[in-house]
Structure 1
Amino acid sequence: MDTLLSRLPALPDLRRLRGPRARLIRRCLAAALLLSGLLLLLLPPAARGAPATTTVVSARDLPAGSVLRAADVRLLTVPDDVRPAGALTAPEAAVGRLLSGPARAGEPITDVRLVGAGLPVMGEPGSVTVAVRLADAAVAELLRPGQRVDVIARGTAANSASVLASGVTVVTVHRPENTGSHALEPSERDPLVLLALPMPVATQVAASSLDQQVTVTLR
């Protein structure tokens, strides 16, 4: 080893160098140090020695009320110092669950962002999703995906009402926005709520919402 090291050319003593050559060497060394720092930042946290955990993140931008599929999530190694509490570590824990709020691509999926499993969702046997316009916009402001509600239709007689469905699930709430290109019709101003309903009552609720004022009560 000593023989090999003795054959290597000696490095110049930068303290004795003056003029353009010294400035060029110092610039090269500064550039090398900067490049080394950038490469270090590009390394995954585990390679840098920082504690990190494999985390489930959204694979793309997802709207509120999405029922997560396998293609909607992916795994990413996230440093523990920025990883949110309750972040999932296995995609199976997210697939089939309802997303309570919108998520950006790459955002960690946490337990509080998901509504419990076993909810009736669009495409699931025995249930369908029905769009219902609520007569009371203030009630729509209280609704969140996954919430259980009863659907109420106002009757023709004064102070009369009927329960169309009980214990149905809110999938998502759409609140129309007037973009200024055209004024909204009165029927388009009411909030639109997507409800997951059992097949036997879905048709009745959809038909009733066309000619009656419909609202919901919260459970």
Structure 2
Amino acid sequence: MRGTIVETLLSRLPALPDLSRLRGRRARLVRRWLAAALLLAGLIVLIHPASARGTPGTATVVSARDLPAGATLRAADLRLADLPEPVRPQGALGSVETAVGRLLTGAARAGEPLTDARVLGIPGTGETGRASVPVRLADAGVADLLRSGQHVDVVAAPDALHPASVLAEDVAVVTVSRPEAGGGRAAGPSTQGPLVLLSLPVSVATQVAATSLERPVTVTLR
């Protein structure tokens, strides 16, 4: 009698879910999610293949070691590196040959990309046709206006024997260096004011260097 009652109660309970069927449904759901993820990855590869394979680099000239301002670049000072376009500077040099023999307008750290704004001279010739001349400016305030790569005219101030004269036109500023305070050196045209390193045509470099030792020199901005 008791068994009959238990059997009757059990028969009225709702049917329990099939656990194997639940596991099958979960497996199918996981497979569907995986298929969707693979499809999405495939679409990304089709639309942006470079992002999936890694952005290809472009050959870029970089400094092989720390270089000072005014250095004439040699092949040993340079190397090529592949840089992705998003980080490659505008105007970056693409071959060592275009940089060799040119003048560096500012100090460069090892691995720094070199651009056309950082070098002076004739590209690809291995010969700049220019010389670096240090000139001390009579007016220190003018030096504060100068920056590497800027073009100026070099002017000699008048004295008892000479009128003011333009020594060189359209020359490039390589760097500006100011004298240390308390240097204790004698005053004179060659020891006063900031020292400006100029990139000049060889034909006038000697004249500018010699005149700057005898007369105060300044520059006019272009």
What is the TM-score with the length of structure 2 in the denominator?
0.58
Q: Deviations over 1:49-108 (max 9, x none)?
A: 422313321101112233322111101233555444443332223223333322110112
Q: Which residue of 2 aligns with 1:52?
A: 56
Q: Which residue of 2 aligns with 1:192?
A: 195
Q: Deviations over 1:142-180 (max 9, x none)?
A: 3334443222122225xx5222333334343322334xx
Structure 1 residue 177 and structure 2 residue 162: aligned? no
Given that 1:150 and 1:165 are in contact with CA atoms closer than 8 Å, whether structure 2 keeps it comes out as yes
Q: Structure 1 unaligned segments of length 5 or more: list them.
A: 1-45
Structure 1 residue 207 and structure 2 residue 213: aligned? no
Q: Deviations over 1:94-152 (max 9, x none)?
A: 2233333221101122343334636xx9x856x54332211112222333344432221
Q: Which residue of 1 aligns with 2:109?
A: 104
Given that 2:61 and 2:78 are in contact with CA atoms closer than 8 Å, whether structure 1 keeps it comes out as yes
Given that 1:59 and 1:73 are in contact with CA atoms closer than 8 Å, whether structure 2 keeps it comes out as yes
Q: Structure 2 unaligned segments of length 5 or more: list them.
A: 1-49
Counterpart Cα distance in 1 of 2:199 and 2:97? 22
Given that 1:152 and 1:215 are in contact with CA atoms closer than 8 Å, whether structure 2 keeps it comes out as yes
Q: Which residue of 2 aligns with 1:144?
A: 147
Q: Which residue of 2 aligns with 1:135?
A: 138
Counterpart Cα distance in 1 of 2:114 and 2:202? 31
How has the CA–CA distance of structure 1 residues 100 and 196 changed in structure 2, closer, same or farther, with 3 Å as cutoff? closer
1:1-219 superposed matches below 5 A: 49-53=53-57, 54-80=59-85, 82-115=87-120, 117=122, 128-156=131-159, 161-178=164-181, 183-185=183-185, 186=187, 188-199=191-202, 201-219=204-222
Q: Which residue of 2 aligns with 1:11?
A: none
Matched length: 164
How has the CA–CA distance of structure 1 residues 196 and 82 changed in structure 2, closer, same or farther, with 3 Å as cutoff? closer
**Identical columns (%):** 60
Larger Rg: 2
Counterpart Cα distance in 1 of 2:79 and 2:72? 15
What displacement does 1:195 show?
3.0
What is the TM-score with the length of structure 1 in the denominator?
0.59
